Amino acid sequence: MRARSFSARSRVIVIAAALLAGAGVVPALASPAPAGVTVGVTGGVPKQPGECCAATGADVPKVGGDYGDQDYSSLTGIGTGNVSRLAGAWLDHLENGADTQDQESTPVAVGGVLYVQTGQGDVFAVNGATGKVAWEYKSGLAGTERGVAVAGGRVYAALGGEHVVALNQATGTKVWQVQVGTPGQDTTANGAGTDWTLYYRGLVLVGTENGGGAGMRGHLYALRASTGAVAWSFASTAGPGQPGHNSWKGSSWKLGGGDAWMAPAIDPQLGLIYLAVANPQPRVDGAGRAGNDLYTNSLVALRASTGKLAWYFQSVHHDLWDYDNTMSPVIADVRYGAGVRKVVIYGSKTAWLYYLNAQTGKPVIGVHEKKVPTLASQATSATQPIPQGDSLVPTCPSAHNSTRPIPDFASGCEFTPYLHTPVLVTPSGAGGANWALMSFDQRTGLVYVAASETDSAYSDGLPYGQPTFWRPPGMTSSGLLDAVNPRTNKIAWHQPTAYGLSDGDGILSTAGGLLFEGSADGLLTARSASTGKVVWNWQTGTGIAAAPITYTAGGQQYVAVLAGGDRVPYRSHLGDSLWAFKIGGKLSQATPPAAIPSRLPVDAPPVAGSAAGDTVVLGRTWDTAAGAPGPTEDLGSEVAMAPPVMTVPTGTTVTFTNPAVNSKDHCAESFFDPASFKIGPLKPGQSGTVTFTKAGTYFYNDCAGFPWNTGEIIVG
């Protein structure tokens, strides 16, 4: 993902936000089109590789392909007719086999050379035909890195600690290095993260992120590519004098969040940058930031030459569910009725896609303000903007899939509010569409989106200090690969997947009629772009949490992917494998990694039942040093079952006990297991037993009012 700077021929005019006819409360700031541009129609400007919106070919000059992030290739050397002969051409272990960092970076290909960075903070130049490493740069600044920018003889990379570095493209020698961050508006200034860089016409764009935590005001920085000096910046919470400033209570805008997780799309013809802005902070305290909290959960269009706001569109008002916009938008020419319009397509974890006029921000497919449940103590919005058409995944819990509610939790559809009592909401803050790259196929006219079906639990953490935003252990998860018709926002087809796909498993579509995407189990898969049916796959040996690319080197087409796994959401096997594939490759597939559990495990080491007297002490955490339950009652922990994970042979009788000195009743109730049990509620001093006659894994929670506390018994 890289940044590029845009033409500034048009006047910078900001018009106050207004209600759009037929779309409910959908604020957008309109400005006149630059001279010579026809609204809604792309024409008269040749589309070159890297521009918007051209298919990539021999080179993939940026993450997402072109400035419109279509992630679509014109190459046809690998297609449905010969993909069965696709095999490994070469394999590099970039970090000498290290498995200590997540790998979320998508390679870039320029002139037959791949440029890729690792989660260790290192940058590599690799011969795309042979896999030979030409140079490597060791930064010592590990982070969550998602791709470099290559332009003008330099490679630009975001690194940990909000650092940005420029390297000589030929040698990897450092040219300059800077830190971004705004003291007074970011309590972790020069200490939070930067995930991506994007080059555009002399500027390097980089966004700050703080992992969804409190204590920052998100920014997009435009750095001068020559020196790293700041040319302009955009703060993603509306400050004094900006439209939407009154959508924040008091001074909450100062540290109101608004991460920039993924690189924006760019339209050089209109001179606009389209940036998806993430959620407000603090995440679970809505009362302290009453209002719609602009420009969080919004798409903002900025003048590329100045960073000034042109228009904005908010897709979630006053977010409480981490329904942030974390994906790179896609720009595409789509025919509506009698004419073609240039639209910006983006969405969020709510599972809805929005289609906006690229010039004005007005919805091209209708949006209505839907009434949703409210909670005055959280200052929730009474309505949320919902587009016409289909959602990417279900938006309410179901007893028939991975959104099945866990017993003893309250549960609800999207936008269900919460306070002290934890609520399971569908989809989750990791559900719907997350940061995985979408793809727009110029042949089929479809948008392909990687999505996840899952719930999250939410609470304000009171009164016990319980977790505030989490995926409860024991729950299942699945995904959908959706093909969406952007003319109607209707699902053309979808294919179910064993794992959620939204966390990094980006999609590449090609003129060869194929879709390529990876998954947490290590498989790189090729599908028919017309039907989604699998036509080829390859085991890489480690999880995949990045998008594949296709390019040419030495006159031959290759597909490449960095397979290195990710801890979120599946704790997939980590590694450092940069794979390249070609027709007739000679390498063999890797050994599959250890299977990912079908249910999210409890985050604790297993303890043999014999070491704990085959007894689980309720309301206590496990002291690993002492090998015994802790001395005091713990009502806030997610693992206050001592031990939280216990292994026993089949036929073992396990005792569950509530110590007499505890102050609260406690309980153990299994869920989603073929042989269920419920012990309690037990008053202090009481015990109960269960004999496990069937092998398997049993999850249970504290059904006496503390459902966030989960234990696991492994029998066999």
Rounded mean pLDDT of 375-397? 97
Cβ atoms 70, 440 nearer than 8 A:
yes
Contacts within 8 Å (CB) and 24+ apart, 398-404: 398/426, 401/453, 401/478, 402/453, 402/454, 402/455, 402/475, 402/476, 402/477, 402/478, 403/427, 403/453, 403/454, 403/455, 404/475, 404/476, 404/672
* DSSP code for 632: S
Q: What is the mean pLDDT of the chain?
A: 90
Structure tokens at 496: 């179910």
User: Does residue 673 register a pLDDT over 90?
Assistant: no
* The predicted structure's pLDDT at residue 49: 60
Each residue's pLDDT tens digit, 342-362: 999 998 899 999 999 999 999
- Please state the separation of Cα 665 from the chain's center in Å: 39
H helices then E strands: how many in the chain?
Answer: 0, 53
User: Does residue 41 register a pLDDT over 50?
Assistant: no
Q: How far apart are CA 475 and CA 397, in angstroms?
A: 13
Cβ atoms 547, 536 nearer than 8 A:
no
* The predicted structure's pLDDT at residue 212: 53
* The predicted structure's pLDDT at residue 46: 46
Give the residue among 484, 483, 585, 479 at the shortest CA–CA distance from 536.
Answer: 585
* DSSP code for 589: P
pTM for the whole structure: 0.92
Rounded mean pLDDT of 273-299? 96
- From the number of C-beta atoms within 10 Å of its C-beta (0-12, 13-18, 19+), residue 57 rates as middle
Radius of gyration, alpha carbons of the chain:
25
- From the number of C-beta atoms within 10 Å of its C-beta (0-12, 13-18, 19+), residue 691 rates as exposed
Cβ atoms 434, 350 nearer than 8 A:
no
Q: How far apart are CA 224 and CA 468, in angstroms?
A: 40
Q: Using alpha carbons only, give the angle 540, 545, 548 rounded to the nearest 5 degrees.
A: 70
- Please state the separation of Cα 366 from the chain's center in Å: 26
Structure tokens at 335: 């025919």
* DSSP code for 77: S
User: Does residue 289 register a pLDDT over 60?
Assistant: yes
The CATH homologous superfamily to which domain 77-106+394-430+435-596 belongs is Quinoprotein alcohol dehydrogenase-like superfamily (2.140.10.10)
Binning pLDDT at 50, 70 and 90, where does residue 181 land? confident
User: Does residue 671 register a pLDDT over 60?
Assistant: yes
* The predicted structure's pLDDT at residue 45: 39
* The predicted structure's pLDDT at residue 3: 31
Binning pLDDT at 50, 70 and 90, where does residue 148 land? very high
* The predicted structure's pLDDT at residue 569: 83
Rounded mean pLDDT of 486-496? 97
Peptide linkage before 53 cis (omega within 30 of 0): yes
User: Does residue 408 register a pLDDT over 50?
Assistant: yes
Pinpoint the residues of the chain covered by CATH 2.140.10.10: 1-70+180-391, 77-106+394-430+435-596
Q: How far apart are CA 643 and CA 622, in angstroms?
A: 5
Rounded to a whole number of angstroms, the distance between the first and last alpha carbons of the chain is 48
Cβ atoms 235, 217 nearer than 8 A:
yes
The CATH homologous superfamily to which domain 1-70+180-391 belongs is Quinoprotein alcohol dehydrogenase-like superfamily (2.140.10.10)
- Please state the separation of Cα 441 from the chain's center in Å: 21
Coil, strand, or helix at residue 144? coil
Give the DSSP letter string of 304-367: TTT--EEEEEESSSS-SS-----SPPEEEEEEETTEEEEEEEEE-TTS-EEEEETTT--BSS-E
Q: How far apart are CA 368 and CA 385, in angstroms?
A: 5
Q: Which CATH class is domain 607-715?
A: mainly beta
Rounded mean pLDDT of 160-168? 94
Q: How far apart are CA 64 and CA 271, in angstroms?
A: 19
Q: How far apart are CA 68 and CA 131, in angstroms?
A: 29
Length of the chain: 716
φ/ψ (deg, to 5) at 376:
-60, -35
Binning pLDDT at 50, 70 and 90, where does residue 282 land? very high
User: Does residue 15 register a pLDDT over 70?
Assistant: no
Give the residue among 326, 330, 305 at the shortest CA–CA distance from 205.
Answer: 305
Amino acid residing at 462: L
| Half-sphere exposure in the Cβ direction for 47 (13 Å, CA) | 16
Residue appearing with tokens 């290759």 = 558
Each residue's pLDDT tens digit, 538-569: 999 999 999 999 999 999 999 999 999 998 88
Q: Using alpha carbons only, give the angle 340, 298, 459 rounded to the nearest 5 degrees.
A: 140
Rounded mean pLDDT of 147-161? 95
- From the number of C-beta atoms within 10 Å of its C-beta (0-12, 13-18, 19+), residue 72 rates as buried
Residue appearing with tokens 């109101």 = 256
User: Does residue 462 register a pLDDT over 60?
Assistant: yes
| Half-sphere exposure in the Cβ direction for 278 (13 Å, CA) | 33
Binning pLDDT at 50, 70 and 90, where does residue 4 land? very low
Indicate the helix (H) or strand (E) that contains 123: strand 122-127
Q: How far apart are CA 230 and CA 235, in angstroms?
A: 13
Residue appearing with tokens 């004419």 = 339
Binning pLDDT at 50, 70 and 90, where does residue 14 land? very low
User: Does residue 144 register a pLDDT over 90?
Assistant: no
